[in-house]
Structure 1
C-alpha cells in the first residue's frame, strides 16, 4: 500500500508537488523516503520503550541533557583562559571575503565573535546567524568535545555573536539561497583561531564547501527540434575536495567536511539525466605537502549526451584562495573550472557548456601540516604515486 493511501503522506501534498515542480518524480520520491524514515524511526522508538518499560522519555532526556552539559563544561574548564583570533580569506562572489573569528574562553562558556567579517553580498551566499552559529559551534565542539552527544545542552555554553552588517548575520531581505558556500567555510576559520590554544590538535584548512553542481540538460536546438529519445532533466551533483592534513595523519581525500553529504554513483546519476561522466578521479598532486600531506581533491569531467546541451550553476570556492597549510605545511592546490579545450569558466554563476565541449572541474586539495623535511621516507614513496 502506498504511503499516501495510508495517510502517512498527505494526498493533497502529493498532488501539489506533482503539478507544481519541474522534477516532480524526484521531489515526491524524496517525500516518500522521508516518510519511510520517520515511520521506521517511530517503530523502533516504540519497540525500545516497550523493551525497557518506559511510559515516556522525559527522565531519559533529562539525564542525557544534564550529563552532556556537565561534560562540555568540564572540557571548557580544561582549556587555557584568554582570547584567540583568526582571519581567513576566501573567494566570495565578485570580491574576496574575510571571515574573522575571535574566541574568548571563560570558566563556563566560550564566546565566539565574528566581528570584522566582511559585509553582506548582493548574491545568495549570505548566511543567517543561526546557520553561521551552527557551524561555528560545530568546529569548537569537534576540537574540544567530539565524543559528547550533540544536543542543546552540550551547545548551550557556546555563545555566538556577529554585527548586523556582517555577511554571516544576514538581515532581511539579503539573499541566502546558497549560504552553504560560505557557511561551510566557517569551521576552518574557527579552528584556525583555536590553533595556538590547542597545539597539535587542529588540522590544516581543507576545501570546505561542497562543489555542488546543478546541471540543466536540454535537447540541442530546443524541444521542438529534438530527435526521438531526447529529454530535459535537472541533475544535482555533490562533489568534495580534500580535507586538511591532521597533526599526525594525512588529510582524507575527496571527503566532505563539515558536511556529511555523499554523492550518488555516476551510474545512477547518468540514469537520472542525459549526461556522461568521462572522468571522476583523484586529482594528483593537489594535497599540500608537509610532514603530513593534505587530502587530494578530484577531477570531474562531464558532458551532455548526444543531441543535448546543458547549462550549469557553479557554486564553488577555494579557486582564488586555496586552503592554507599549518605549522609550515604547504597550501593545497586551488580549484579550477574550465572546458576541455582550456577555456576558463567562472567559479560562481550560471554558464553554458556547448554541445561539443565537456565541463572539467578540478577540486581543491587540503593544506599540508608541518615542515615537509619531516615527512617520512615511507610517506614520500607513497606521494610519488599521487603525482608529487
Structure 2
C-alpha cells in the first residue's frame, strides 16, 4: 500500500510550503493560519488498523501537487516537479567468510526549474536533509563496485529555465550472489513542468544476472 496517515500528509504540505517560501520561519505561529483539508477514509488519512507503506512516494507526490498549485496562483514562485521518487536500493548477500551484508541506500535525481533559474542537478529528495553517501564509503563497506556514477545527459526538462540533470548509476555486485530490491517511481509518468516547459526524463531501472 501507499497509504499515509493524516499527520504525514499535513507534514508533506508544510515541507512543500517551506520550499516555496524559504524566508518564512518554520514555527507553529506561521503554520497556524494554513488550513489543510483531508477527506476521511482516503489515501492521505489512513488510520489503524489500516496499513501504511511506501509513504515516501505519496509524500513526494503531495509536494508536486502543492508546487503546481502555488505556481498557478503565483508564477513568480513556480517550481517544476523534482524527480519525485526516493530511489531506494537494497542489496543483500553473504561474504566469502559466510557473514551477511546488507546495503541500503537512496539515490538522487534532478530538481525542477524555477522562475529564477535552472533546477538543481543530482540532488536528494525534497523530504530529506541527508546527503547522498559517497560511493567510496559504500564500496568500502560492502562487496560492490560502482562502475558508473555521473550526471544523466539531457534528462532535465527543457524550458527557459531547465530542470536539473538526473544521475546514472551502474553497480556491480562482487560477492557470489545477492538479492536486490528497488523501490521507486516515475517510470511511467514523467516529472511535470510549469508554464511552457517540457517534462523531464523518466526513471529507468535494469539489472543483469550472470
Q: Does 1:296 align with 2:161?
A: no
Q: 1:218 to 1:294 in 2, by over 3 A?
A: same
Residue of structure 1 equivalent to 2:180: 312
Higher relative contact order, chain-length normalized (CA < 8 Å, sep 6+): 2
**Counterpart contact for 2:70–2:77, Cα < 8 Å:** no
**Counterpart contact for 1:213–1:237, Cα < 8 Å:** yes
Match of 1:196 among 57, 72, 79: 72
Q: How does 1:156-175 map to 2 (within 5 A)?
A: 156-175=32-51
**Counterpart contact for 1:244–1:251, Cα < 8 Å:** yes
Residue of structure 2 equivalent to 1:140: 17
Residue 248 of structure 1 aligns to a residue whose secondary structure is coil
Residue 185 of structure 1 aligns to a residue whose secondary structure is helix
Match of 1:330 among 191, 198, 206: 198
Q: Does 1:149 align with 2:25?
A: yes
Regions of 4+ moved over 3 Å: none
Shift of 1:278: 1.1
Shift of 1:137: 2.0
CA distance, structure 1, for counterparts of residue 50 and residue 135 of structure 2: 35
Residue of structure 2 equivalent to 1:208: 84
Residue 200 of structure 1 aligns to a residue whose secondary structure is helix
Residue 281 of structure 1 aligns to a residue whose secondary structure is strand
Superposed CA offset, 1:301-351 (max 9, x none): 11211x4222222210111011011111110000011125xxxxxxxxxxx
CA distance, structure 2, for counterparts of residue 168 and residue 193 of structure 1: 18
**Counterpart contact for 2:156–2:163, Cα < 8 Å:** yes
TM superposition score normalised by structure 2: 0.91
Match of 2:153 among 264, 284, 287: 284
Residue 161 of structure 1 aligns to a residue whose secondary structure is coil
Count of residue correspondences: 209
CA distance, structure 2, for counterparts of residue 173 and residue 215 of structure 1: 31
CA distance, structure 2, for counterparts of residue 185 and residue 310 of structure 1: 32
- Computing the radius of gyration over CA atoms, which structure comes out larger, 1 or 2? 1
**Counterpart contact for 1:132–1:168, Cα < 8 Å:** yes
Shift of 1:147: 1.5
RMSD: 1.7
